[in-house]
Structure 1
Amino acid sequence: MKPKIYITRKLPDQITQKLKEYCEVDMWEEEDTSVPREVLEKKITEVDGLYCLLTETIDHHLINKTSKLKVISNMAVGYNNIDIEAANKKGIMVTNTPGILTETTADLTFSLLMVTARRVVEATNFIKEGNWQTWSPMLLTGQDVYGATMGIIGMGRIGEAVARRAKGFNMNVYYYNRTRKPDLEEELQLFYVDKETLLKNSDFVCVLTPYSAETSNLIDTFEFQLMKETSILVNTSRGGIVNEDALYKALVDGEIWGAGLDVFEEEPLSKDNPLLSLPNLVALPHIGSASKKTRLKMADMAADQLIQGLQGSEPTNLVNEL
């Protein structure tokens, strides 16, 4: 008998067909809405495997309802949406999809940096709203990228990929990380500094660290006060690392020049969020890995992880120790 799995979001046919070769598949069919909590509470009690996204919070209340569940496959690099401790207690394997989205997310990070620096969204709206009457010397002037100083907080795969792009723009690159990377410093001419030095000296601060208890509100009021008035903050990692109330104040008070965010504390972001009222903030709907090629690879890897675990093998990207 095939193991039963539940998929929390409609996937491309090629992925579901692959899963159906090995599993009995049940799936939430709505493409643009998350599975309701009450539905997930019921489904999780019936299955051997769960295929989920960051949009689902798999907390201890859900996990404790399970008796059959063996594998939770998360179609994401991060897994802070899953209570790992609760999964450990139940002997449930948790997997993720690292590596695949590195270059795509680095592309988006650098794009967001440039769009914010050169006020691209403001300029587009300026034309659409009929405000372009003449050329003016200081109209919509932004910040230079070429030759500027970038500070990267979190030098993992994506941080390294962003640093490589920065060097193509002849940028001076500082980084702050739990561990120093001398070989990478030598290869790319990077400078390892403490967080305070990075914040004080960077024209662009890119947040690329995973979310954890240690990194919650890592960028807060004190950090914004250290930054240059001309600096730009870019966050494409996880919401909650940047304190959004402190960011709002910093943008309004001119403590920093601008910000580009792809992630937020609560997602989806409400259209009434005060951050969206600010002209010096560019907001994106968590599209860091959103290229067709990358998303299909992520979906396929998540399927492979689920199949491996259900067949009794240790998944390639097991994130918890059982």
Structure 2
Amino acid sequence: MSKPRIFVPNRVNEEVIHYLQQYGDVDYRDQEEKMAEEEFLVGLRNASALLCYSRQKINASILEQAPLLKVVSNIAVGYDNLDLGEMTKRGVLATNTPGILTETTADLTFSILMAAARRVAEADYYVKSGQWKEWFPSLMLGKDVFGATIGIIGMGRIGEAVARRAKGFDMNILYYNRSRKTDAEAKLGATFVSLEELLQRSDYVVVLTPLTAETQKFIGVKELALMKKDAILVNASRGATVDETALIHALQEKRIAGAALDVYEKEPVDPENPLLKMANVVTLPHIGSATRETRAKMAMKAARNAIAALQGEIPENLLNKEVL
């Protein structure tokens, strides 16, 4: 009996490939860059399982050309790249890798919050570009983090992890979520408030909500207008949760003090995007989970999800349970 074909179109750790080879015929491409669509479709045509990163869109037109596909295993916690409705209709299981990247992404989120508050990137450039000629009292004045108020939009795993870091800085923790998290309130001293109150009171507004139809451009003109003039917006979720045009205008008009961004509406970000010209905006290339250890664990979790599906088991991280 022939083994199922497992398609892995981008680089993962060797241990992951060795694991997959125990269960299937692995079509592996050891490349960092995203595969051209035509080549991707050729590889997918005879595949029973696909391991992919969240930049790979899986929709009806793709699924039509993958008649043998049984499972798509996302190497990511986010899954807005997957058309779950279409996959369920065709009996294709969808999985992700939650939990593994929680602490790593929280580290990155809190680090860009601090970088924006203390103007780290701006000060680094100031020194390296030779502009530092003398010290004076108002040089690179920033904004306190310790004891400030943080507002977390989306109190999931990563939101709670960011709140734990904020607690270490004796911050006043506000949060807004679809439902109250009484455990987080008890453990972290977090306070559940309305979105409006969070925006009005927070020194740092941190967006950590997944991207859904409801959260598309969740932070827009109205929401930005409610923020303090000296507040900083931090987005480490998905770029489309924030109305980027509205954010640019708010920054240009000094209606908020700054932003720290790991994600954008369009990725890679356009080199002409005004956000890249603003000294008060920290810009990263979507690296929330980018540590060697975490990415290796994510890929292995994705591999285990895929093999469970191929063996007729229910994967631990099944997203579309309706498919069963």
TM-score bracket relative to the smaller structure: over 0.9
Secondary structure of the equivalent of 1:240?
helix
Query: Would you say 1:22 and 2:29 are equivalent positions?
Result: no
How big is the shift at 1:8?
Answer: 2.1
Q: 2:255 aligns to what?
A: 255
How big is the shift at 1:37?
Answer: 1.1
| TM-score normalised according to structure 2 size | 0.97
**How many correspondences in the alignment?**
321
State the alpha-carbon separation in 2 of the partners of residues 102 and 30 from structure 1: 26
Q: Write the letter of the residue equivalent to 2:161.
A: A
Task: Tell me how large the CA RMSD over aligned residues is.
Answer: 0.9
How big is the shift at 1:266?
Answer: 1.5
Q: 1:316 aligns to what?
A: 316
Task: Give yes or no for contact 1:8–1:53 (8 Å, CA) kept in 2.
Answer: no
How big is the shift at 1:189?
Answer: 1.3
Deviation string for 1:83-106 (max 9, x for gaps)? 111101110000000000111111
State the identity %. Answer: 50
Please identify, of 100-109 and 19-28, the stretch whose mean Cα deviation from structure 2 is larger. 19-28
State the alpha-carbon separation in 1 of the partners of residues 286 and 315 from structure 2: 27
Mark the runs of 5 or more structure 2 residues left unpaired by the alignment.
none
Secondary structure of the equivalent of 2:206?
strand
Q: 1:158 aligns to what?
A: 158
Q: 1:299 aligns to what?
A: 299
State the alpha-carbon separation in 2 of the partners of residues 29 and 100 from structure 1: 23
How big is the shift at 1:29?
Answer: 2.8
How big is the shift at 1:279?
Answer: 0.8
Deviation string for 1:155-183 (max 9, x for gaps)? 00010011111011010010000000123
Secondary structure of the equivalent of 1:108?
helix
State the alpha-carbon separation in 2 of the partners of residues 184 and 162 from structure 1: 11
State the alpha-carbon separation in 2 of the partners of residues 5 and 15 from structure 1: 12
Deviation string for 1:172-216 (max 9, x for gaps)? 010000000123212221111000000000000000111000000
How big is the shift at 1:42?
Answer: 2.1
Task: Give yes or no for contact 2:154–2:177 (8 Å, CA) kept in 1.
Answer: yes
State the alpha-carbon separation in 2 of the partners of residues 187 and 236 from structure 1: 23
How big is the shift at 1:27?
Answer: 2.2
Deviation string for 1:246-274 (max 9, x for gaps)? 11111111011010011111111122222
Q: 2:68 aligns to what?
A: 68
State the alpha-carbon separation in 1 of the partners of residues 140 and 132 from structure 2: 11
Please identify, of 301-310 and 176-185, the stretch whose mean Cα deviation from structure 2 is larger. 176-185
State the alpha-carbon separation in 2 of the partners of residues 271 and 192 from structure 1: 38
State the alpha-carbon separation in 2 of the partners of residues 8 and 255 from structure 1: 44
Secondary structure of the equivalent of 1:56?
coil
Task: Give yes or no for contact 1:77–1:98 (8 Å, CA) kept in 2.
Answer: yes
Task: Give yes or no for contact 2:12–2:296 (8 Å, CA) kept in 1.
Answer: no
Deviation string for 1:120-178 (max 9, x for gaps)? 00001001111101111111111100000000000000100111110110100100000
Q: 2:14 aligns to what?
A: 13
| TM-score normalised according to structure 1 size | 0.98
Q: 2:276 aligns to what?
A: 276
Counterparts of residues 54-203 of structure 1 (less than 5 Å) = 54-203=54-203
Task: Give yes or no for contact 2:80–2:211 (8 Å, CA) kept in 1.
Answer: yes
Query: Would you say 1:52 and 2:52 are equivalent positions?
Result: yes
Q: 1:39 aligns to what?
A: 39
State the alpha-carbon separation in 2 of the partners of residues 239 and 258 from structure 1: 16
> After TM superposition, what 4+ stretches of structure 1 lie above 4 angstroms from structure 2?
none
Q: Write the letter of the residue equivalent to 1:91.
A: G
Q: 1:3 aligns to what?
A: 4
Task: Give yes or no for contact 2:176–2:192 (8 Å, CA) kept in 1.
Answer: yes
Q: 2:206 aligns to what?
A: 206
State the alpha-carbon separation in 1 of the partners of residues 25 and 11 from structure 2: 15
State the alpha-carbon separation in 1 of the partners of residues 89 and 44 from structure 2: 16
Secondary structure of the equivalent of 1:160?
helix
Task: Give yes or no for contact 1:64–1:86 (8 Å, CA) kept in 2.
Answer: no
Q: Write the letter of the residue equivalent to 2:126.
A: F
State the alpha-carbon separation in 2 of the partners of residues 73 and 102 from structure 1: 18
How big is the shift at 1:314?
Answer: 1.0
State the alpha-carbon separation in 2 of the partners of residues 34 and 273 from structure 1: 23
State the alpha-carbon separation in 1 of the partners of residues 208 and 192 from structure 2: 15
Q: Write the letter of the residue equivalent to 2:143.
A: Q
